[in-house]
Structure formats: C-alpha cells, structure tokens
Structure 1
C-alpha cells in the first residue's frame, strides 16, 4: 500500500457540532469507527453495493486507485475490507460536518421555524431546551430534544414470523426495487426464489424460522458484519433491550438554507413527533450478503443496538399535523430543522418539482421535504440546510 493509504485508514472525528462553551469535537456515535459496510451504506447513492469515484470525495477519493485493486473503477466491500486489514484502523466516513458552511448560506429562501408544540410532550425527557451551538462555523440557536426513541401512537413490531405457515399478521415488511413485501412465513420460505440464490434457508426442517430471539443474538446479527453463527437468520431486536437509551437531537430553531446539499452522517436524519429517529437508508447490501433479513414493522421501524427503535420508512402510522389546504401533513423535522411532510396530499397526489434531496418550496411552508416511497429505503435523500446532529447515550 502506498503511504497515502495510511492517511485514509486513520480515525476521523465526527465534528457535527461544537458547543459554544466547549468548542470540542464530537466523536463518531458511541465512539465507534465506521466499518467498510457502513461506508458503502452511507455513500452508495445508486444502491449498487459499491462505490464509484463520483460517489466519494476527500481522502477516499485521493486513494481511490490504491484501494481499487482490480482497477474496475469501483470500490467493493471486499476491497475496503482488505484495506482495513492491511492497516490499523478503518476507512473514515466522509462527512460535510467538519466544513465551514457559513459562505453557503442563502438568506433569500423562506424558512419556517421548528414548531415544538407538534411534539408529543410525554415522549420528551426534561422538556425541550434551547442552546447556542456552533454548526459548521455558524453560531446557531438550537433546540435540544432528548427522547428514549419509543413510539407511543402505535405498537412496535411484529417483525419476524416464527414458522413458515405464519401469516401476515405475524409479519413485518421488507422492500426491494421500491416495492414493499409482507414478511410472512411463506415469504421467508421463498427467499431463495425471491433473490434467485439457493443459499437462502432461514427455516429448519420442521418449518420453524431462525429468529434472533435474545439480546445476544440481536447484538451479533444487527450489525454490518453479521457474525457467521447468525447467517441465514431473521433479525429481530426488541425495543425493551434498549429502552433506557437516550437519543439527543440538535435542531436549529430556525433552519438555515444552504446553496449546496449535505450528505448524511451516521446519526439520525430527523425526528418524528413521537421522538423516534428517522434514519439513513438501511445497509441492505450488508444484511443480504449474510443471507439475513431485518424486517421493518408495518410502521416502517425496527431496532438496532446503536439507536433503539427507529424508522427507515414512512407509512402513515405516526402523529401528523394536517395543513390548511390539500397539502400533505407534516410528520416531523429533518436534522437541519426543515419540515418533513408526507408523500401524498389529501387528494392522493404526489409532490412535483422535488430537488435532489426530496425537497421543494411553496409560499406557505417555504422550503421543506417530502418523505419518499415506503419501499424506497430512503425517507429523504440529503440535506439542504445547516445540519444539526444526533447522539445516543447507552
């Protein structure tokens, strides 16, 4: 490996925000370095399971040719893993969050402040606080919102059926090619046909399905590098395993529109009014590579060890605030403070003229986002505002 590769494989601090008092860098959530699989999950904009030069920048782009061992113009999970094994540390996540974005502010855009009355107050820990925080070089008045990320409007689950004869009432949902599928026992039994891969075998000879029914199994399977003992499992983590986790959301009181778009970090991309996180796309390529499936429940959520219950899809199960016209209801806020609205308006129509992030303008709401299709594994695609951040305390 060339000397520059060692630069790629050092720990990079996530400098999402610095408090006005402390001015200190924030590390990656839970002190964890991102894995190669997590890097692909974050940066793989076309969901083909590998990274092209156009999908990377910074140190990864600088050492692209060194890591691309077969010179095919793409970085695969195997190539990133080999780079990781040849050096101490891991490839750093790319982040816009350590940039000074003060010169990207566009003050001509109409923005609406965050309305804290929309949140379910019983789900908030110690009330919503305000604090001056430096976001990417911009001193910003922010809301500090702490929750246990537990839904209250709906029951969380179910996720995995336990027998191939179980029906849809015992199942969650899964997605492929923008379509949603019920994870019934029959669906589990036919995964080999669904993915055209005869290595899928999640059920035993007696028809029972291999499910991670303990916290230990959850911890082993619900991560990008699934432990081998839990390959060919239906991954189900229960909310009670992590009910004492505290998730902190930092959102600008009044969002700041930027001329450039910002990619997601590893934290939450927003928050529903019940205090549950909206997360970036699930790392499906890593999940499926281990012949595991990690269903969402019918509400678009599931559980992992580093964030508890969270949503990857919007299905209309959470609190909504109706609009005065036919416009879709607001369902939460992105981490930059801009509102996230439902996909369909009162007449069942989809929004038009959305930008690359899934947002657009109107006279009443200013700039705002619309949630994507439930089967798209992407609630919004990027951020157009000055990003806040999330932290999880276990």
Structure 2
C-alpha cells in the first residue's frame, strides 16, 4: 500500500508564550522572562513566594510550582508595572482593567509591528495574558471574498457584545493554481497516487488513495466486508456527479448501501457555495479553551474556502464507504460546499517576511491560523493545547495540526463569531435528501461492481 505518513505530533511545550495549565495560574512570557521565572525558584521549594523582573521591567510575583520536574515562578498575582522613574506603581488602574476584558490595537500580520498591541485580560480574575492583533481582511486573496466587508455589531459565543467583520467567502479556491480541487476517487486498482486523493486516520497518518489503497482496504481495516472494486476488472465503485453530492449530504449509513468511493465536485455545486461569516474584529480571549469537535465549522481560509470541523470518520467508515479528500484535504457536499478538514499545504497565502510559516486563514474567534511548518520545514515548538503561540509580530496565533489529525487546529482560545443561518453543520446533514436512494452500491457482489457514474 502506498502511504504517506504525517506524524501528528502535538507540541505540548511548557514554555509557550501563552500557556494555561490550570485556571489558577498564568505563566510568564517566554525568552528572557521565562528564564527569569525558572531562576526565581532556584533553591526554593513548592509554594514558596517568588518574584522576578519581566522583559518590560515589570515585577512579576507568584509562587514556585513544579513544572517538568523543575521549579518555576508562576504568577498568581497581578503584574506590578514600573513607573517612568523606576518605582513600582500600586495604582489600581495600572494593575487591572476595569472597563473591559480586553485592550487592543490593530496591526498588520505581514511583519509590521504596532506598539501597545498587548491584550490584557482582567488580572483580578487571573486570566491568561496574550498578545493579539486585529483581523486584517486585506490578507484574503483576490476573489476570496464576495462583495464588501461590513463592520457590524455582534454578540460572540461567550456573550461579549463587540463588533465583527461580516464577510462572504466564495466557497472555492481563489488560488486554483496552488490550491487545486481534486482528484478524489481512483478509477481502478491500477490507478496511481496522482489519480486519487487522500484519506486520514485521525491519528496523524495521511494515505494516498491510489488503486493499491482501495485494493487493500480489507487488510487496513481488518474487515473482509470491504470490497470496493470489481475483482475481475479492477474497476472501483465510484458514486460521483449529482448523485455523489446527494449522498455526500448525509454521511449516515444506509442499510444495504455500501462499498463505494464518494465524490462531490465543485462543478456540481455551481462552482462553490458562498458562506457569510461574522468574525470578531479583534479576538476576545476566553479563560477555558473551546473544543473544535462537533458539527460547527471552524473558520475561513485566505483563499475563500470554508474551514470545516473534524470529519465524522467513524460514521463514514461504518457504511464501508470513503468520502475521499483531495490533495488539499478538502471535499464537498451540497450543504457546506467545498471545505477543508486538514491543512495540507494549500491556502498558504500569507507569506511572512521573517521566515515564519505562512498564514492560511482565520479561526472563527478571529485568531489567525498559520501553517504547521515554516519555509525551512521546521515546526513551531512550545505550542499550547490549541496549537497556539504568541510573538511580537503576529500576536497570539494558531499553527495547523498535522494533516492526518482530522482537525485544522486544536481548540478555540477566543470567543467565537458565527456563520449566517444559525448552527454550522460543517459537512454533516441537514436531513437526508429526498427522492430515491442512489441506484448503485446496495449489495455489491465480489465479482461485479456497478458502473461508475
């Protein structure tokens, strides 16, 4: 079997710029400040008081805690900033933000740094302190957004009333040369990897869906019921065209209808389904991250493609079928249109001047998403549980998960906006399409597969 393995290594580094181990403690910034946090607990025992100076000359106070078999000074009290004359300031306004949970400044994500772009959560509540930049809609590719971008009042998932960008994505790659749709299903067990798409296991492995992959499905899944091709001709059972899109609209098993490779092409959807989304103009951090698992879409790519939730792999496989992804990690259905389930190197439009990995899109909470690796194929280290980190140029941002992990990124660190039309189905069903069941597929016999559409 021809496979390509992409190890889904979850970076759980303890020294990320924004790391929340529990709701009780906030970790200091990385670099020299983090070193100072370690040094502050030299020769001290757990829970002893500690303090150290941060990179901005503020005085950080906390207690020593055991982190990765060493002691680190963990802040559980507000930062005490210094005044211009170098003395500690004990002003309430200097240590807390009473009027709002966030203070922000807009900046570009192309390497241009703005001053005072620090978002400060209410320190009285011991929330995480993160850097964040405002959403920059100019980063989207030409043709990715349909119509004008509006700024509107909105209420986020956590109840925060703020402003959002209301924009409509085209629902198809605006960069088709670098992010092409397809291919999906191979036509026979002799087909090469170039003639088929990809499949994932949710654990970090990406499979090339070539003819050998189809031929060996029963071995891969240790189940002899897998028989997706005619053993006499080697022809693969493929449901495509309008019928393929109908079946793709609901991945739930249909009794007696199994053993087919499914594809729904953009041309069957009039070139794409437009989606209108509300994304906060500036992210609003949350104390506890929100899981991406479920039915909701997770964001938008810079090339105008929807970022979907994790695909329902178990449900799809239970009907002995494959909703094959293309080489970009996407497929389509008549409800959500063409959407990504993995970041396979497409929509990497936001090139960074400093060599950082390129930006691929925005999450629904307004935080930017960057590729897993930079131009030297190096992965970011010390990421938090959502796959995020902070730097002075980009602020807080996510890095994409490994393609085979069945997620674009790990979780949401901010309150989410929404897609117009209510709950986002993300590729699951809005009800099974009407009309008769597809003619091909039920009761396939080992020696006879139905003709491809």
Specify if TM > 0.5.
yes
Q: 1:163 aligns with which of 185, 188, 208?
A: 188
1:330 shift after superposition: 1.2
- Within 5 A, what are the aligned runs for 1:9-24? none
Q: 1:278 aligns with which of 307, 324, 339?
A: 307
Match of 1:114 in 2: 135
- Within 5 A, what are the aligned runs for 1:80-99? none
Cα deviations across residues 348-382 of structure 1 (Å, max 9, x unaligned)?
A: 21111211111122222221100011111111121
Deviates most, 277-286 or 213-222:
213-222
1:231 shift after superposition: 1.2
Deviates most, 201-210 or 183-192:
201-210
Match of 2:173 in 1: 151
Provide the secondary structure at the position in 2 that maps to 1:220: helix
Structure 1's consecutive aligned runs of 4 or more residues displaced over 6 angstroms after TM superposition are 102-105
Whether the aligned pair in 1 keeps the contact of 2:248 and 2:264 (CA below 8 Å) is: no
Cα deviations across residues 8-55 of structure 1 (Å, max 9, x unaligned)?
A: xxxxxxxxxxxxxxxxxxxxxxxxxxxxxxxxxxxxxxxxxxxxxxxx
- Within 5 A, what are the aligned runs for 1:60-79? none
Cα deviations across residues 271-321 of structure 1 (Å, max 9, x unaligned)?
A: 111111111111101011111111111111111222110011112222422
Cα gap change, 1:222 to 1:293, in 2 (>3 Å): farther
Task: Give yes or no for the alignment of 1:322 onto 2:351.
Answer: yes
- Within 5 A, what are the aligned runs for 1:114-263? 114-135=135-156, 136-154=158-176, 155-176=180-201, 177-205=203-231, 206-228=233-255, 230-243=257-270, 245-263=273-291
Cα gap change, 1:122 to 1:283, in 2 (>3 Å): same
Task: Give yes or no for the alignment of 1:334 onto 2:349.
Answer: no
Match of 1:288 in 2: 317
Match of 1:67 in 2: none
Q: TM-score, normalised by structure 1?
A: 0.70
User: Highest CA radius of gyration, 1 or 2?
Assistant: 2
Gap regions ≥5 residues in structure 2: 1-99, 103-119, 123-128, 423-429, 431-453
1:392 shift after superposition: 6.1
Whether the aligned pair in 2 keeps the contact of 1:153 and 1:319 (CA below 8 Å) is: no
Cα deviations across residues 204-247 of structure 1 (Å, max 9, x unaligned)?
A: 23221111123234323552313235411101111122236321
1:326 shift after superposition: 2.7
Cα gap change, 1:149 to 1:221, in 2 (>3 Å): closer
Match of 2:433 in 1: none
Match of 1:15 in 2: none
Cα gap change, 1:325 to 1:217, in 2 (>3 Å): closer
Deviates most, 381-390 or 212-221:
212-221
Distance 1:311 1:282 in 2: 9
Task: Give yes or no for the alignment of 1:310 onto 2:331.
Answer: no
Distance 1:221 1:388 in 2: 27
Gap regions ≥5 residues in structure 1: 1-101
Match of 1:21 in 2: none
Distance 1:152 1:141 in 2: 27
User: Cα RMSD (Å) of the superposition?
Assistant: 2.2
Cα deviations across residues 41-96 of structure 1 (Å, max 9, x unaligned)?
A: xxxxxxxxxxxxxxxxxxxxxxxxxxxxxxxxxxxxxxxxxxxxxxxxxxxxxxxx
Distance 1:226 1:389 in 2: 29
Task: Give yes or no for the alignment of 1:351 onto 2:372.
Answer: no
Provide the secondary structure at the position in 1 that maps to 2:322: coil
Deviates most, 328-337 or 200-209:
200-209
Provide the secondary structure at the position in 1 that maps to 2:212: helix
- Within 5 A, what are the aligned runs for 1:27-42? none
Q: TM-score, normalised by structure 2?
A: 0.61
Cα gap change, 1:229 to 1:127, in 2 (>3 Å): farther
Whether the aligned pair in 2 keeps the contact of 1:221 and 1:230 (CA below 8 Å) is: no
Report how many aligned residue pairs link the two structures.
293
Distance 1:203 1:221 in 2: 20
